[in-house]
Chains A and B, each alone.
Chain A
Amino acid sequence: MIAPPELLDVHRGPLLLAGIDDDPGLDAHRRRVGPLPDLALDRLLDAATAGAVRGRGGAGFPFARKLAAVADARGRRPSRRPVVVVNAAEGEPASAKDEALVRRAPHLVLDGAELAARALGAREVHVVTAQDRSAAGWAVDDALAERATRGLRWTRHTAEARFVAGQARAVLELMAGRPGLPVTGWAPAAHEGHRGRPTLLSNAESWAHLAAVVLHGPAAYAALGTADEPGTTLLTLATPPGPGGRMGRVRVVEAEHGAAAMTVLDPAALVSPLLVGGFHGGWVHPRDVPGLTVSSHHLRGLGLSLGAGAWLSLSDGSCPVTETARYTEFLADESAGRCGPCRHGLPALAGEVRGLAEGADTRRRVRELTGLVTGRGACAHPDGTARLVSSLLTRLEDLVEEHLDGRCGCAAPQRAPRAVAR
């Protein structure tokens, strides 16, 4: 069991987190960014393209392309009004940036959604928060109460506190009144989503970036970051969860694209293994950490992804093998239990990684299982889990060898507690 952090340290940033020390209310927000313009679709598309806004839920899909797809689908069947969804369900416990954004700058997120809704002619906007991040839910409710609806119907939904509940299809299922678990999507949500209508579902941070580009102007947005990757991104910097499974104190920071990891990580993190991309991410060897930059291009070159921006450092001296075993057990527990390869494969994989942590060389079986679960499920949960485990074997190979030889100096293997005392 691994649960979201107890304490969030949200640092002020240049753009999205510029106003976090102010009152998160609507008036203060408007004083800072000005009124919300009513943009036509083509102007909104231009803004999204100029800002190279990408999905911040993990997939990194170009936002402009998604917006265009929804507009296209609407064009083909004008009777089906599109639907806009803000996904702040943040199922990843190591990530807290959506929670931070929604609690400290909710109107920026909602502005982005409203811009898209008006440009698309949508009448419904849905906002989804998670059950175990109730402060985020209240913040959204408060913010919605302040805004004039002007023909838009805003609905807030509460997703269950589970890892896969934040997945796009799971969110759509929740909105349809069914259990919030992933199902097979035969057509993209942009074409057929909520009630079969074109649905623009994006992560809360993505919406905030869209609003930032429009409200500050593409020039101001592109003044930050690099030419290829303008603007900024939010990162959650964390250390391993405590013995009870609770993530400790995390820092949510806003970094310009292209910034050196050195500028955001503390000194201890620069010499420790770093998990980039949360529990579905990949390990970075300590020798590679100082050279990292906050850039999806750079990371992709290393076989990694910026993903949802959760970076977990073993700066407390934890052993990567033991930690990976722990996270894999957690991820196996978090399977929705519907797809056979995930339901059977992840617990088997967790067992083998635990075996590795306990000193048995189970690597061949681990590789077999990671191959077996990848791409065989309704969502990317097994793929992400396989990616985490594979990266341990490929990128931290020498550390794994050390561990198997008993030379890594870590304490007795920790078992992930199955039940959390409340």
Chain B
Amino acid sequence: MSRGGGDGQQLRVDWPQCRARGLCAELLPELVVLDEWGYPVVLGPVRPEHTDLAREAVAACPRRALRLVRR
């Protein structure tokens, strides 16, 4: 399935940990938007060109509530 690089990756939220801090949406607005209560909505899989930003978003989450997983 993976054609190399960031293919076949998905951002998954650890919902019980998420506290709607919103750093993920700030860093990756093409992929993560916030709902009306401030919680992330992941719009789709992580495209290869977004892999680095996705990793940054994962590292930036103050609750470590975001993970990059294989689809």
Contacts and interface: CB of A to CB of B under 8 A. Distances in A.
Interface of A: 181-184, 186, 336, 338-342, 344-345, 372, 376-378
Contact of B69 (A186, A344, A378): A186
B63 to A, nearest CB: 11
Contact of B16 (A344, A345, A372, A378): A378
A376 B13 contact: yes
The 5 closest A-B pairs by CB, nearest first: A339-B15, A340-B39, A338-B16, A344-B37, A184-B14
B67 to A, nearest CB: 7
B15 A378 contact: yes
B37 A340 contact: yes
Contacts of B38: 340
B35 interface: yes
Contact of B20 (A181, A183, A340, A345): A340
B18 A339 contact: yes
Contacts of A378: 14-16
Nearest to A345: B37
A377 B37 contact: no
Contacts of B53: none
B33 to A, nearest CB: 11
Interface in B19-50: 19-20, 35-39, 41
Interface residues of B, number: 17
A184 B15 CA distance: 7
A341 B15 contact: yes
Contacts of B20: 340
A399 B29 CA distance: 41
6 contacts: A182-B16, A184-B12, A184-B16, A339-B18, A341-B39, A372-B41
B15 A372 contact: no
Contacts of A344: 37, 39
Nearest to B18: A340
Contacts of A182: 16
Contacts of B35: 341, 372
Nearest to B15: A339
B46 to A, nearest CB: 17
Interface string B1-22: 0000000000011111111100
Given A186-B67, A186-B69, A341 B37 contact: yes
Nearest to B14: A184
B51 to A, nearest CB: 19
Nearest to B37: A344
Contacts of B19: 340
